[in-house]
Structure 1
């Protein structure tokens, strides 16, 4: 009886793990001047590197349709001293 119960529990656990949907990360798109951006909510912006010069930063956001996007653009690093 215990073996049947153990088999049923392990089968249920393996099926529930198999049924979970895989989360697909959105593709990173490089920013181009004049690009139309539909930003409804900013989710995350990566920190600026501690260098003196151009460095890439990524912004993750949701558009008005609820889709998530990642935009990569260039900023001047935070390591410049004036």
Structure 2
């Protein structure tokens, strides 16, 4: 058996897997940057409870057609002791 052909085939298989993974990351990133149609924000609430760090938040808003929608997302908590 010709080992150089075996190693070359393995090398190209690894490159294909790496390229597929990179493509999947780009696809997920572009999906996360979806344009939101927000005409008016009704409320924004989070579950920080005074804690610092990343917390869950919920925004309720109206789109341009007047339909009420809800967006759940993560954000950094607003810590009252920053800069002290």
Q: How many residues align?
A: 51
Match of 1:39 in 2: 38
1:34-76 CA-partner distances (Å, limit 9, x unpaired): 1110000000111451112100110000000110000011111
Return 5+ residue gaps in structure 2 as ranges: 1-30
Give the alignment's TM-score, normalised by structure 2.
0.51
Distance in 2 (CA, whole Å) between partners of 1:38 and 1:81 is: 34
Give the alignment's TM-score, normalised by structure 1.
0.52
Distance in 2 (CA, whole Å) between partners of 1:53 and 1:35 is: 24
Q: Quick check: 1:55–1:75 contact (8 Å CA) kept in 2? A: yes
Q: Structure 1 residues 42-51 or 55-64, which shifts more?
A: 42-51
| Structure 1 vs Structure 2 CA RMSD | 2.0
Q: 1:69 to 1:41 in 2, by over 3 A?
A: same
Work out which structure has the larger RCO, using CA pairs closer than 8 Å and 6 or more positions apart in sequence: 1
1:54 and 2:54 are equivalent in the alignment:
yes
Q: Quick check: 2:46–2:55 contact (8 Å CA) kept in 1? A: no
Q: Secondary structure at the match of 1:46?
A: strand
Q: Which has the higher helix share?
A: 2
